[in-house]
Structure 1
Amino acid sequence: MGLGKTLQTISLLGYLHEFRGITGPHMVVAPKSTLGNWMKEIRRFCPVLRTVKLLGNQDERKHIREDLLVAGKFDVCVTSFEMAIKEKTALRRFSWRYVIIDEAHRIKNENSLLSKTMRLYHANYRLLITGTPLQMTRLLDILEDYLMFRAYQYCHIDGNTGGEERDAKIEAFNQPGSSKFIFLLSTRVGGLGINLATVDIVILYDSDWNPQVDLQAQHRAHRIGQKKEVQVFCFCTEYPIEEKVIERAYKKLPFDALVIQQGRLAEQKTVNKDVLLQMVRFGAEMVFSSKDNTLTD
């Protein structure tokens, strides 16, 4: 899709090799049609990595297994989804540093043969790369897995939650002395009639392109009955597109205010140039004036 996923992944492997002394072994599992490109890009951008492509008929794969795919003779094994299933016996002999799955939406169904097979491999880390959204609420599922692992009590609402279940979770969370530690909800759902007056900390883990959606989600805590000061934190990873999403969101807010409050500007038939320039600069100054990359009001 031209998002630079392949190059970023190769950069990671190159960094591990050159700066951390971690030479592998790593395994890249990708669609068969992309294996040639993976091999070409690795040779082009990080030729120090010794790469083996596991693909071919039975005789060719036997040669690769016995002569090339030998501990100490390679750094990266590039193979297809089909080969990851067929050659699982040979591939399970290795303890992989990174198992990298390209087009990772293919394993979204945890009951699929590919998904089950990939979970058989021993690896220190697993990297899933995809240009196809798993984001909308899949990230909430990942956070839910973490909360279950830590044995935290929580509530979870997304677009698939039924009305009665939704009301029951909100009521359980707002109960005095509730054992629920955290309330997970998508920003899109967060603006639809949810009252969380007992919440005093709001964390925007994954921001929306539309800043009004984020504001509506925050306002679930700014409700009648709130007795504490509400703190809002917006998590952002430095440098990738997420930073641009937040930057654009802050730039949009003054324009939204202009549209919403246009009735107040009725007397002033036109908005002068200085006002528009001030609005455009507002969001940029909020983003770029912070030296520690933390945005605060």
Structure 2
Amino acid sequence: LLCGTLRPYQVSGMSWICRLYELGRNGILADEMGLGKTIQTIAAIAWLAERRQIWGPHLVVAPTSVVGNWVMEFQRWAPGLRVVAYTGSKKERAALRSGWTKPEHSDVVVTSYTLVLNDLAHLRRRRWVYLVVDEAHHIKNETSQAWRALMELPVLAKLLLTGTPFQNSLHELWSLLYFLSSSQEMRDRFTAEEWQAMTTPIADHAAAKRMIAGVHTLLRPYILRRLKSEVEQELPQKRYLIHVCPMSRMQRQLYTDFIAHHATRDKLQSRRPFSVIQCLAYLRQVCNHPYLITPPQPRSPVFLDFDAMPARSAMLERCFRIIDHTTAATAGTAAATAPPPPLVAFPTRDALLFDCGKLQVLAKLLARLRQTGHRCLIFTQMPRVLDLLELFLSASGYRYMRMDGSTPAAMRTTLVDGFNADPRFFCFILSTRSGGVGLNLTGADTVIFYDSDWNPAMDAQAQDRAHRIGQTREVTIYRLITAHSIEANILRKAEEKQRLSQLVIGAGHF
């Protein structure tokens, strides 16, 4: 390895991966987020090449947002390996496959889950030595397309990387183990009754606890997990704070009217999953900002001639909604026949704050953080909330960056590097699902969850974008919760899942 030295626990992790390979076993490297699972994997692949002359080919499958990071880390730590980023258009990928089956084509191919589904037939043409699945919770369901596609690949060994091996139920953990081994091996280790209990989503926590000892026995040959508190003593501490946010008058009116409406009661009583999800989504939108339900209709006094602009900016596209056109000032003139300039909706900062209690709390928090020299990441589940946050941050004079599912993969690395390197950027606003995995954002020392995920593992992944190796300051995690709302129930459910995760994974001391 070049350009760095592994920490002692990383050397141990690399040795564990190599030992699994030599024993013909698959495994899960489940170190807590931020401990360098990527580096340990690269070191193991480099060791196989140097010491065992096993150069590959290896296939690394990762979320789109971190494919570029994998390639960069390979180039930094093991430049002697020939690494191909299998991305781009259909034509570009076809060019990358030229000489696909020849050994000299590449040692490592890095691609995304999406492209595995699109190009499975081509990927099956090569026999891979190692299949490395990053953020392996993406295949927590054995009926998903990604799980089935990866199972079809011809590989000698499999390595799953995830900082959150347990998320919602034992069944999801079982899916990962089933991916690593044959169904017969699983069945041989448990009775029919135990098999049924293990492969059924948890409904009775007492029954689940009775299975914990068996789960630990089953996991131990397959999993290695270390926590930051155990192996990284120099990493700064992190602390958690919850801010309870009052509802504005507009929010309270929308919330109570919806709850009291007979149509809402009918949907909830029907117990149809889609109807219940619709109701919960509406309530969550009200908590985040009432403008997600009833957008304002202010009219700007400023006329913007979009046709005269070389290109309409992305921010204008997202945040300005064209709602009206002016009439020609003089009838019968040439100007009267031309398309009138558009008038755009532009909610003021005061209006944004007045109608949303949560945004009021966030505004005070950001002002205090700015004065004390902190930089922050703001996560939300909803892209439309990112639009409103952009309006608020711009009106407040804060410099920021944004990343969501629509951000091109090639731009994500540039945004991350730019934010870490330039302290003038105060905020990075991200969607939890797109920006919460695989990124290194140690330039920030504060994480704010504008809303919470039903799955606490997703929020845990997101907060560790800042709390990881390379962080030199204490990290503070703020969670905004709307008082007397569905968000309190979401938080309570998340805490239950975390306790169960501690029983299943933490208590096993893997």
TM-score of the two chains, using structure 2 as the length reference: 0.32
Determine the structure 2 residue equivalent to 1:186.
212
CA distance in structure 2 between the partners assigned to 1:70 and 1:106 by the alignment: 30
2:121 paired residue among 89, 104, 110: 89
The alignment status of 1:160 with 2:206, answered yes or no, reads: no
Determine the structure 2 residue equivalent to 1:32.
64
The alignment status of 1:150 with 2:188, answered yes or no, reads: yes
The alignment status of 1:49 with 2:81, answered yes or no, reads: yes
Cα separation, partners in 2 of 1:22 and 1:151, compared to 1, 3 Å: same
Give the CA RMSD over aligned residues: 3.9
Q: How far has the Cα of 1:11 moved from its partner?
A: 1.2
- What is the total number of aligned residue pairs between the two structures? 188
Determine the structure 2 residue equivalent to 1:2.
34
Determine the structure 1 residue equivalent to 2:143.
111
Query: C-alpha deviations, 1:230-275, integer Å up to 9, x for none?
Result: xxxx999899449949xxxxxxxxxxxxxxxxxxxxxxxxxxxxxx
The answer to whether the 8 A contact 1:204-1:235 is kept is: no
The answer to whether the 8 A contact 1:203-1:235 is kept is: no
Query: C-alpha deviations, 1:81-140, integer Å up to 9, x for none?
Result: 111111111110111111111111111111111111111101011111112233763556
Determine the structure 2 residue equivalent to 1:99.
131
Q: Point out which structure has higher relative CO (alpha carbons under 8 A, 6+ apart).
A: 2
> Structure 1 regions of 5+ residues with no counterpart?
167-183, 188-201, 208-233, 246-297
The answer to whether the 8 A contact 1:26-1:76 is kept is: yes
Determine the structure 1 residue equivalent to 2:104.
72
1:120 paired residue among 130, 149, 152: 152
Q: Aligned ranges for residues 176-215 of structure 1 at < 5 Å?
A: 185-186=211-212, 205=217
Cα separation, partners in 2 of 1:235 and 1:106, compared to 1, 3 Å: closer
CA distance in structure 2 between the partners assigned to 1:66 and 1:239 by the alignment: 39
CA distance in structure 1 between the partners assigned to 2:224 and 2:230 by the alignment: 9
SS in structure 2 at match of 1:99: strand
Cα separation, partners in 2 of 1:71 and 1:162, compared to 1, 3 Å: same
Percent identity reads 34
SS in structure 2 at match of 1:47: coil
Determine the structure 1 residue equivalent to 2:269.
none
The answer to whether the 8 A contact 1:28-1:79 is kept is: yes
SS in structure 1 at match of 2:129: strand
CA distance in structure 2 between the partners assigned to 1:52 and 1:27 by the alignment: 10
Cα separation, partners in 2 of 1:14 and 1:126, compared to 1, 3 Å: same
SS in structure 1 at match of 2:132: strand
SS in structure 2 at match of 1:134: coil
The answer to whether the 8 A contact 1:39-1:53 is kept is: yes
The answer to whether the 8 A contact 1:52-1:69 is kept is: no
Q: How far has the Cα of 1:66 moved from its partner?
A: 1.0
CA distance in structure 1 between the partners assigned to 2:187 and 2:35 by the alignment: 32
Which amino acid in structure 2 is aligned with residue 113 of structure 1? Q
TM-score of the two chains, using structure 1 as the length reference: 0.53
The answer to whether the 8 A contact 1:52-1:68 is kept is: no
CA distance in structure 2 between the partners assigned to 1:85 and 1:130 by the alignment: 21
Query: C-alpha deviations, 1:134-174, integer Å up to 9, x for none?
Result: 376355674995654537646525682669xx6xxxxxxxx
Query: C-alpha deviations, 1:151-208, integer Å up to 9, x for none?
Result: 7646525682669xx6xxxxxxxxxxxxxxxxx7115xxxxxxxxxxxxxx995489x
Cα separation, partners in 2 of 1:26 and 1:162, compared to 1, 3 Å: same
CA distance in structure 2 between the partners assigned to 1:85 and 1:100 by the alignment: 16
